[in-house]
Amino acid sequence: MRAYERLIKYAMVPTASNENSAAVPTTECQFNLAHILVNELQEMGVKNARVDDKCYVYASIPATPGCEDSKVLGFISHMDTVSDFADHMVQPIVHENYDGKDLPLGESGRTLEVALFPHLPSLKGRTLITSDGTTILGADDKAGVAAIMCMAERLMKDDMPHGKICIGFTPDEEVGGGADHFDVKGFGADFAYTVDGGAESEIEYENFNAVRADVDFKGFNIHPGSAKNTMINAALVAMEFNNMLPAGETPRDTDGYEGFYHLTRMSGNVEKANLNYILRDHDADNIARRQEIMKEIAKKLNEKYGAGTVNLTLKEEYRNMAEKIRENFHLIENAKKAVKKSGVEPQVVPVRGGTDGARLSFMGLPCPNLGTGSYACHGPYEHATAEGMDIVVDTLTELVRLYGEMK
């Protein structure tokens, strides 16, 4: 079974996580895919495959004779998807010999447009996989899951020498919980790669530093006819707070290594209001500066309207794994070799987001990220190519070979 065929199968198993749930996993449906993967691994001959009570799948393939002392390599992907555009079953569509032009997505009224996705002409002639335009495809990260499964199947059938290989599939990555209960020691790898990126050529080890900001505003309500110099409208103070942030530093305005403030939610009335932000920056000093700017704004507004009007809560979510990967830079050099051996030119790009690997790297498991052969995740325009996914499988297999030679 090719990787894209596995993607189609896995995509049709609903696994959306829920950011408002405190359960682990946040949705029971994630167990459905976990059990499928465990069964498939066991059918391949990976008899120790298992899923634990928190929906983490673990498996390992023993070293071949003569490679028992090789470094132990791991591969990790996440099973959950975002909840947006995931309210009903995904219906994948396979477009053979794609012409590189605008592509209607089923009968949804949506079109995959070259104007919005300028990489599309480069996919001409490939087999393109999309949803029907009413849901996500789920290639983030079921394309990664599929590639790892195909690699495992190949290793179980071939006689290529290799060290011990560890496999992990996590729940709840999309809501920031993928690494929360990951058993690094039990996993048993010296190093690992997450397979959770974009194009098959991509290698990523510089992710955002991430901070969440929750801002609560307390107002003072009084009849508007007698409110002069007395009323404090919490909703207006919230608007004032947002307007005091640096201009031109939102996701819409930034790219590459540029950080941002992103307002994700707002609510309020005269008596109380709330703003939720995510702060992102690759540079540690810059993410600290962004937090100080928010603190200073809160201080000024409290001086203007009275102590307790603005309450700012900042929480670190994850850090840039670059400092940990630079200590193990063979992971990047070998990834470049493997991608190139698979027939494409490697591209080392910054991650404008985070991965399970970012947190795992600080938990003692250095873990950069590889591409999956997919694009435009988290929405109805998500797509992947069969050929790109095949290249990912080849890349993973080549990494296995390279680390089999590393003692």
State the angle between helix axes of 386-404 and 3-11 in degrees (0 to 180), rounded to the nearest 10. Answer: 110
Spot the catalytic one: 153, 173, 249, 387.
Answer: 173
> Does 330 belong to an annotated binding site?
no
State the Cα–Cα distance between residues 130 and 384, nearest whole angstrom. Answer: 7
Beta strands at 369-370 and 202-204: parallel, antiparallel or unpaired? antiparallel
- CA 30 to each of CA 139, 141, 169: distance values in angstroms, whole numbers, following the listed order: 15, 13, 11
> Does 162 belong to an annotated binding site?
no
Other CB atoms closer than 10 Å to residue 292's CB: what's the count?
9
173 catalytically annotated: yes
Spot the catalytic one: 40, 80, 202, 387.
Answer: 80
Residues 6+ apart with CB under 8 A from 356: 76, 78, 170, 173, 178, 179, 182, 194, 196, 367
Q: 217: part of which helix (H) or strand (E)?
A: strand 209-218
> Does 196 belong to an annotated binding site?
yes
> Does 181 belong to an annotated binding site?
no
> Does 140 belong to an annotated binding site?
yes
Cα dihedral 41, 47, 50, 56, rounded to 10, equals -50
**Cis peptide, bond prior to residue 25, ω within 30 of zero:** yes
State the Cα–Cα distance between residues 261 and 259, nearest whole angstrom. Answer: 7
80 catalytically annotated: yes
Q: Is 28 buried (19+), middle (13-18) or exposed (0-12) by CB count in 10 A?
A: exposed
Catalytic residues, by residue number, are 80, 173
Residues in binding site for Zn(2+): 78, 140, 174, 196, 378
